């Protein structure tokens, strides 16, 4: 089993839609969790950290479920500029990246 | 701030040749990381340094790969001899603390193609 697993997608959604991604992790001792965004042919950039209580940043909401070992990212009111690959990252002694979920937002 | 600088941005070489990738971390950052990204395996940590000292190289695939950090502002990742399966994007990243993902900054990457 991979340490971090994500549905590769792509998720094709129209502008204005709400879309959610899940990510599962295998190591129950993992301590920190993050979502990164990566545009085509660019480097990954931190989108947001994921806290146990859940957290929101504008149109983006991240949640953590330690019991089931998964984290989620919800994007509301999708914009064309949200089209990218979203990487789930788990921190246990080192950062482990998922292979990413690709999102395509169309007009 | 210029951010993390990597060179070259693209490298095409033939199997068996030596390849050297270069990285300049953000000034003041004392951790430096080398990652490799492929479609199949995603982003994988190869090695990281703290204050120029290699801390964990367990991700280095084999002896053909080596990394050095002779000073706080420069690191190299060398592949010798290179093989087609080494084709990937290699990222360098730096942080001012112990690998915290919320303070990790990636360079633009080097796209390596080994023919």
Q: What is the pLDDT of residues A40-77, one digit of tens each?
A: 999 999 999 998 888 999 999 999 999 999 999 999 99
Which two three-digit tokens encode residue A68? Answer: 């089931």
| Residue B73 neighbours by CB distance under 10 Å | 15
- Whether B41 has its CB under 8 Å from any CB of chain A: the answer is yes
| Inter-chain touch B108–A98, beta carbons under 8 Å | no
Q: What average pLDDT does this structure show over B6-29? A: 96
Chain A, window 36-95: residues with a beta carbon less than 8 angstroms from a chain B beta carbon = 36, 42-46, 49, 87, 89, 91, 94-95
Cα first-last separation, chain A:
37
Phi-psi region of B3 (alpha: psi -120 to 50; beta: other; left: phi over 0): left
> Is a pLDDT exceeding 70 seen at residue A19?
yes
What is the distance in angstroms between the Cα of B48 and the nearest Cα belonging to chain A?
10
What are the chain B neighbours of A91 within 8 Å (beta carbons)?
A: 99-101
- Whether B55 has its CB under 8 Å from any CB of chain A: the answer is no
Q: Which residue has the higher pLDDT, A27 or B113?
A: B113
| Cα–Cα distance for residue pair B115/B100, rounded to 1 Å | 36
| Inter-chain touch B42–A98, beta carbons under 8 Å | yes
Query: What mean pLDDT, rounded, does chain A reach?
Result: 93
Q: How confident is the model at residue B15 (pLDDT cuts 50, 70, 90)?
A: very high
Q: How confident is the model at residue B100 (pLDDT cuts 50, 70, 90)?
A: low
Among B103, B102, B106, which Cα is nearest to B43's? B106
| Inter-chain touch B102–A34, beta carbons under 8 Å | yes
Predicted local distance difference test score (pLDDT) of residue A35? 95
Q: How confident is the model at residue B2 (pLDDT cuts 50, 70, 90)?
A: confident
B28-80: pLDDT as tens digits: 998 999 999 998 888 999 999 999 999 999 999 889 999 999 999 999 999 99
| Inter-chain touch B101–A46, beta carbons under 8 Å | yes
Predicted local distance difference test score (pLDDT) of residue A76? 98
CA angle, B11 then A46 then A80, to 5°:
85
Predicted local distance difference test score (pLDDT) of residue A31? 82
What are the chain B neighbours of A95 within 8 Å (beta carbons)?
A: 45, 99, 101, 104
> Is a pLDDT exceeding 70 seen at residue B98?
no
Q: CB of A89 within 8 A of CB of A27? A: no
């Amino acid at each position: 089993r991979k340490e971090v697993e994500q549905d590769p997608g792509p998720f094709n959604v129209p502008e204005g839609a709400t879309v959610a991604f899940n990510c599962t992790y295998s190591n129950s001792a993992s301590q920190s969790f993050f979502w990164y965004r990566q545009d085509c042919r660019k480097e990954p950039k931190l989108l947001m950290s994921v806290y146990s209580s859940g957290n929101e940043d504008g149109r983006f909401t991240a949640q953590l479920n330690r019991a089931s070992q998964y984290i989620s990212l919800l994007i509301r009111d999708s914009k064309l500029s949200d089209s990218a690959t979203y990487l789930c990252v788990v921190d246990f002694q080192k950062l482990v990246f998922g292979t990413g979920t690709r999102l395509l937002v169309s007009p | 701030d210029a951010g993390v600088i990597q060179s070259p941005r693209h490298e095409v070489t033939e199997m068996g040749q030596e390849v050297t990738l270069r990285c300049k971390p953000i000034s003041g950052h004392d951790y430096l990381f080398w990652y490799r990204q492929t479609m199949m395996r995603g982003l994988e940590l190869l090695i990281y340094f703290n204050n120029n000292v290699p801390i964990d190289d367990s991700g280095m695939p084999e002896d053909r790969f080596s990394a050095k950090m002779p000073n706080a502002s420069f690191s190299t990742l060398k592949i010798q001899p290179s093989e087609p399966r080494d084709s990937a994007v290699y990222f360098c990243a730096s942080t001012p603390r112990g690998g915290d993902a919320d303070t990790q900054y990636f360079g633009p990457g080097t796209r390596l193609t080994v023919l």
